[in-house]
A and B are shown apart, each in its own frame.
Chain A
Amino acid sequence: MDEIERLVRASLAEHAAEAPPGDVAAERFLADLSQGHRPARRPSVRRWLTPLVAAATVVALVVALYLLDWRQNGHTPPAGVTSSPRPSAPTSPTLAPTHSTAAPVTSAPTTPSSGTSTTTTSLPAGPVPAGMRVADLTFVSPNQGFALGTGQCLDGSGKRCAALLRTDNGGQSWVGVPTPVGANVPDTDPTSCQAPCIEQVRFADAEIGYAYGPSAFFMTTNGGATWTAEPGGADALETLNGTVIRIIDSGTGCPGPCNIGIQVASNGSTSWQSLGLPGGQRNAASVVLTRAGHGAYLLLGQHTSGGAPNQISTLYVSANDGATWAFRGEPCPQPAAGVEVDSVDAAAAPDGSLTIACQPRQAGLAGGFTMTSTDGVHSFDTGAGRITRGPVSLVGAASSRVLFLVADTLYRSTDGGASWTPVRSGPGAAIFIGFETATTGRVIAQPAPGHSGSATVWTTTDAGQTWTPYTFG
């Protein structure tokens, strides 16, 4: 091999690493395709039009034939399922969680090396308690996920106990998984949960998982068969790309959480590295952590009930799985002195974009809206659409264009927040929304006022065009 050939080989190998990341590009491409859009980076519309129309026609035909075949073969959904979501293919590890301490989210799916629901050990599978009320969801792939909540204790006492469930088929059926010994989960009143109180659950893959609350932290490395109590707690936690990021606080000295800090560890490790938080505030009323690709985003919200205009939110951004963080200030625009627009929630989409839900605090201002960044939070595009029926509480993002806001009901936008449409045949108001891929997402429906029965988990596999409910017995 002569010198120039050696240099060419070396140059090609070196520069191949500069290619766009495949997982983010794949999700963006599939999202665009599912919406009938041409991908955003493409400059030539004419070259796309004919093949795109042909492709969309084929996809529609294939889906129609599939559904027809499914019906004709007499497949019946499992008990309790009105209509079953179609299992999706395992995906690369990108996911769009959306989260606040008050509203749980789907978590990042899995490590790059696994990426599917494949397991190496036998996972626990017990009965599902009656009256299951789901409070939090985490999916490690479109097929495999976990639900944390409460159900009737299996001892027949009639009391309610912590409950953890697992699905291996995209939510068509569920099995019981042991919860940490002695742990409690908030039922209807979050303030009544006795220590150790776990409020959320995240799994990195089928085996490594975390159940936690602000003052309790448990880890499993065998799919929940056994749990180990670890020191401290977590206000928020997300796992992706083999790493887990958790947000901690000291818990005293302010309305709380106070003295917020970030810790990072490898999946399954008990060795946590504490990281500094640059600039900005250390106290918050709400903590939102969301991840996609190698991006991690931490939104600290302030107490809105006090009405103080200077109670601003703060966004921190990491582009390297939480290793380092940058201070980005208040993402939502503040129109004038004395007028406050709160950043109430954030959601990273599988295509790597970040969307913030903004809600004007003062009465008389136009309603809630979204801001989306597709360039690593260097800039935001503000959606022109406004939700005026109730304050927005949650945001979900299948992509930078297909967005969801939760207010009095669930709203969907297919144009990046420029316009919003209520989801008519869907979950209504929700306490949770998250997307595992550009097309597959989940919602936990808000129980009706005064209703203490089972919660309904809704699934979409077409980026929120249609939703399928699963109500626990």
Chain B
Amino acid sequence: MDGGEDFARFVRTHMGALLKTAYLLTGNRDTAEELVQDTLVRLLPKWQRVEQAEVPLAYVRRCVVNRFINDRRRPASRELVTDLLPETPDRHDIASEVSDRDLVWRLLASLPARQRAALVLRFFQDLSDEESAEYLQCRPGTVRSLVSRALSTLRGWSAESDSPGFFESTG
């Protein structure tokens, strides 16, 4: 079995999962596809290293997350590209669970890259603090801090809202 076939098989098997992660990170379908393709092309010359990883998908996903964060650090990449404008929501329109989730989605786009990545890893990938820390190359305590600050930021917008209690903790 040659490396080209292994690579193609990995792409066909895991492209969907990688795109989901990338889309949740970037909030944009084209940017998500670009992020995953860019990561795969850069990994291809050293694909043996990927295959030697305990979980190749986790290895590649970690590279996707790191690339997302690093891209966002560059001055040229600081402008956030999203399908929806990350505008401050009109809270008068918020009336249902569906709109709440949509509002959260838009607000997520306004978070710093590491905070958003931490939320995706913890709340979508269901990784532990320790596992998320490996992805983000930091300590578990830092992950907890990133998640806490992200949730606090999201909650803060509710404080400005005249829909009291919308984002308040239920216990």
B17 at the interface (CB under 8 A from A): yes
**A19, A22, A41, A66: which has the most chain B beta carbons within 10 Å?**
A19
CB-defined A-B contacts under 8 Å, sample of 10: A3-B169, A11-B101, A14-B105, A16-B20, A16-B23, A23-B15, A25-B16, A30-B11, A39-B34, A44-B34
The complex places the Cα of A48 from the Cα of B40 at a distance, in Å, of 11
CB distance from A241 to the nearest CB of B (A): 14
The complex places the Cα of A13 from the Cα of B119 at a distance, in Å, of 12
A20: chain B residues at CB < 8 Å are 19, 23, 29, 32-33
Q: Is the CB of B4 within 8 A of A62?
A: yes
A3: chain B residues at CB < 8 Å are 167-170
A41: chain B residues at CB < 8 Å are 30, 33-34, 37
Q: Is the CB of B22 within 8 A of A8?
A: no
CB distance from B16 to the nearest CB of A (A): 2
The complex places the Cα of A410 from the Cα of B44 at a distance, in Å, of 33
The complex places the Cα of A165 from the Cα of B44 at a distance, in Å, of 38
B50 at the interface (CB under 8 A from A): no
* Known contacts A23-B16, A29-B37; is-contact A8 B104 (Cβ 8 Å): yes
Q: Mark A44-86, 1 if CB is under 8 A from B, else 0.
A: 1001100110110111001101100000000000000000000
A229: chain B residues at CB < 8 Å are none
Q: Is the CB of A22 within 8 A of B5?
A: no
Q: Mark B8-38, 1 if CB is under 8 A from A, else 0.
A: 1101111111111011100001101110111
CB distance from A186 to the nearest CB of B (A): 36
The complex places the Cα of A2 from the Cα of B40 at a distance, in Å, of 37
Binding site of A, secondary structure by majority: helix, strand, loop or mixed? Answer: helix
Q: Which residue of A lies closest to B23 (CB)?
A: A19
Counting from the closest, the 9 A-B pairs by CB-CB distance are: A22-B16, A19-B23, A26-B15, A2-B169, A89-B9, A22-B15, A55-B44, A11-B101, A12-B124
**B45, B47, B170: which has the most chain A beta carbons within 10 Å?**
B45
B75 at the interface (CB under 8 A from A): no
Q: Is the CB of A11 within 8 A of B104?
A: yes
The complex places the Cα of A55 from the Cα of B97 at a distance, in Å, of 46
Q: Is the CB of B38 within 8 A of A47?
A: yes
CB distance from A139 to the nearest CB of B (A): 15
The complex places the Cα of A90 from the Cα of B38 at a distance, in Å, of 24
* Known contacts A10-B101, A20-B33, A23-B12; is-contact A15 B23 (Cβ 8 Å): yes
CB distance from A47 to the nearest CB of B (A): 7
B36: chain A residues at CB < 8 Å are 25
The complex places the Cα of A90 from the Cα of B23 at a distance, in Å, of 26
